[in-house]
Amino acid sequence: MKIAVIGCGYVGLVTGACLAEIGHHVVCTDNDEAKIHTLNAGKLPIYEAELDGIVARTRADGRLTFTANAGEAVRTGEAVFICVGTPPLETGDADLSAIDNVARLIATEARSSKLVIEKSTVPVQTGQQLKRALAVYGRHGGVEFQVVSNPEFLREGTAVLDFLYPDRIVVGVDNGEAEKKLREIYRPILDRSFKCPLPDAMRPKVPLPTLIVTTINSAELIKHASNSFLALKISYANALADLCERLNANVEEVTRAMGMDPRIGPQFLKAGLGFGGFCLPKDVQAFIRLAEKAGVDFTLLKEVERINKRRIDHYLEITRHALWVLKDKQIGMLGLAFKANTDDIRFAPAMDLIKRLLAEGAKIAAYDPEAMERTRALYPNLRYTKDEYAAAEGAEALMIVTEWTQFKQLDWERVYKAMARPLILDGRNLLDPAKMRGMGFEYHSVGRPE
């Protein structure tokens, strides 16, 4: 099928490249011309595992193209995927202005009927507004639009695998014809007939995905409800961690045993610095606002948010307790990205931490395998180091802020020798406390006995 993708961010690029990979002809567009220029020069504006190979191959095959001419993209696609950003407004509501702009674009540029697929995360009932907008903006064109909701469940860092091997594909439709078209688009994924671009060892051994067909409103709600529930699990684990610290229990032991109950499940129970990134924090916020406006008491989610905000306060309390005064103290920071395997720093705990450490006069030397360039744009005056050891050099404390696996495998003897004071503040429970203390480090982590 000929498909247009509007928006070349994390979601749009992965969607466009993977749809081309499974056999469609895809044209991607973005209103940031520099991004299109970068993509046409064969480079990626973001880091996402496995994406570069897929983009390069599908471009070479001619199945994936990039254009700054959005009108042309819209006219080419029988189906148009909306993958633009919906960032939070001051109020916490999702900013839907980009969706409105895209509706105007599609309505005025289309010359034939289109299936309009809402992939961006939007509050429930946006599909209805989108339908209305397309009808109003396109009232002179005589073109028909069908709107469907098809939320993404892509995790940054494993987005390509999540797209190609999903556990479920949710489509919110209001007629059978739209459902048929979406089945056609996703058929190679549903019956797994596409040729896997990854080496055998990396291919997930998971069951075939289920296609879940719902109303448009339900599909929109599924996305917010899923992400808010994941956030709730994390905040629950973090509140448990506080309790464990007070009562001298070990949160890792508690959540491990809890997770073995299939009704609970092991994932998203990792205590630490809390959830960040561009999805969970904003989706929880938007969901709270949505419930408020609908007149439903969902204070449970406010508590989820409050617990999460407290994580940085708590970590700073641990830091102050260990270091006493922060002014002029040299701190090494390992990890800036909001989680491992991404260069994304949006709503990353590290950003909040840097701001507050600098405000107290601490000096930071930071290292991250992927996220230093992006952080430099926000904090040009931090010292960014060539590796982990250089960040530890002369430091009075070493903070572990992102759970990159490579931090686990450091030569800790070397780190020990490099530091001015061997103090580790492990915000992600990445290291083994007994081992670290055995080596002579003063070691603090989250929710584990001191």
Residue 149 touching ligand UDX (CB under 6 A): no
Q: Residue 361: phi, psi to the nearest 5?
A: 90, 10
Q: Is 236 in the site for ligand UDX (CB under 6 A)?
A: no
CB of residue 160 vs ligand UDX: minimum separation in angstroms?
12
User: 290-304: string of b/e by CB count within 10 Å (b at 16+)?
Assistant: bbeeeeeebeebeeb
Question: Are the C-beta atoms of residues 414 and 389 closer than 8 Å to each other?
Answer: yes
Interhelix angle 216-247/126-137, rounded to 10 degrees, is 140
Q: Does 272 bind ligand UDX (CB under 6 A)?
A: yes
Alpha carbon distances (Å) from 435 to 251, 286, 389, 413, 425: 18, 42, 19, 11, 14
Contact with ligand UDX (CB under 6 A) among 145, 275, 412, 441: 275
Rounded distance, CA 6 to CA 102, Å?
8
d(CA 60, CA 37): 16
Q: Which of 269, 391, 397, 424 binds ligand UDX (CB under 6 A)?
A: 269
Q: Segment near ligand UDX (CB under 6 A), from 107-115, 170-178, 267-275, 408-416?
A: 267-275
Least distance in angstroms from the C-beta of 309 to ligand UDX: 13
* C-beta atoms surrounding 419 within 10 Å: 22
- Binding of ligand UDX by 7 (CB under 6 A): no
> CA–CA separation, 431 vs 272, rounded Å?
12
Among residues 107, 152, 121, 3, the alpha carbon closest in space to that of 64 is found at: 3
Name the closest residue to ligand UDX (Cβ): 279
Please pick, among 18, 83, 244, 279, the residue that the annotation labels catalytic: 279
147 contacts 133 by C-beta, under 8 angstroms: no
Task: Find the part of the chain contacting ligand UDX (CB under 6 A) among 38-46, 147-155, 298-306, 316-324.
Answer: 147-155
Question: Does the footprint of ligand UDX cover residue 153 (CB under 6 A)?
Answer: yes
Among 107, 133, 182, 280, binds ligand UDX (CB under 6 A): 280
Q: Select the residue interacting with ligand UDX from 155, 183, 187, 302 (CB under 6 A).
A: 155
- Comparing CB distances to ligand UDX, the nearer of 86 and 330 is 86
> 225 to each of 107, 174, 221, 286, 397, how far by Cα in Å?
30, 21, 6, 11, 39
Shortest approach of ligand UDX to residue 326 CB, angstroms?
24
- Binding test (CB under 6 A) with ligand UDX, winner from 279, 333, 430, 446: 279
For ligand UDX, the closer CB: 128 or 158: 158
Assess whether 279 carries a catalytic annotation: yes
- Shortest Å distance, C-beta 169 to ligand UDX: 13
Should residue 276 be labelled a site residue for ligand UDX when binding is judged by CB under 6 A?
Answer: yes
What is d(CA 45, CA 37) in angstroms, rounded to the nearest whole number? 10
Residues 385, 387: Cα–Cα separation, whole Å: 6
Of 131-139, 263-271, 298-306, 324-332, the window that binds ligand UDX (rule: CB under 6 A) is 263-271
Q: Which range binds ligand UDX by CB under 6 A, 27-35, 36-44, 153-161, 321-329? A: 153-161
When asked if residue 106 is in the footprint of ligand UDX (CB under 6 A), the reply is no
Report if residue 268 touches ligand UDX, rule: CB under 6 A. Answer: yes
How many residues bind ligand UDX, per CB under 6 A? 20
Under rule CB under 6 A, residue 338 binds ligand UDX: yes
**Minimal distance in Å, beta carbon 237 to ligand UDX?**
6
Which residue type, as a one-letter code, is found at position 111?
R
Largest CA distance in the chain: 75
Q: Give the one residue of 126, 150, 227, 341 binding ligand UDX; rule: CB under 6 A.
A: 227
Q: At what angle do helices 349-359 and 299-323 cross, to 10 degrees?
A: 50
| Residue 63 or 428 with smaller CB distance to ligand UDX | 428
In contact, 276 and 344? CB cutoff 8 Å: no
Spatial separation of the C-alpha atoms in residues 337 and 370, rounded to whole Å: 8
Q: Least distance in Å: CB of 268 to ligand UDX?
A: 4
CB of 238 to ligand UDX, least distance (A): 8
First to last CA, the chain: 59
Q: Which of 93, 152, 305, 396 binds ligand UDX (CB under 6 A)?
A: 152
Identity of the residue numbered 384: Y
| Residues of this chain that bind ligand UDX (CB under 6 A) | 152-156, 227, 230, 234, 268-270, 272, 274-277, 279-280, 338-339
The residues that are catalytic are 279
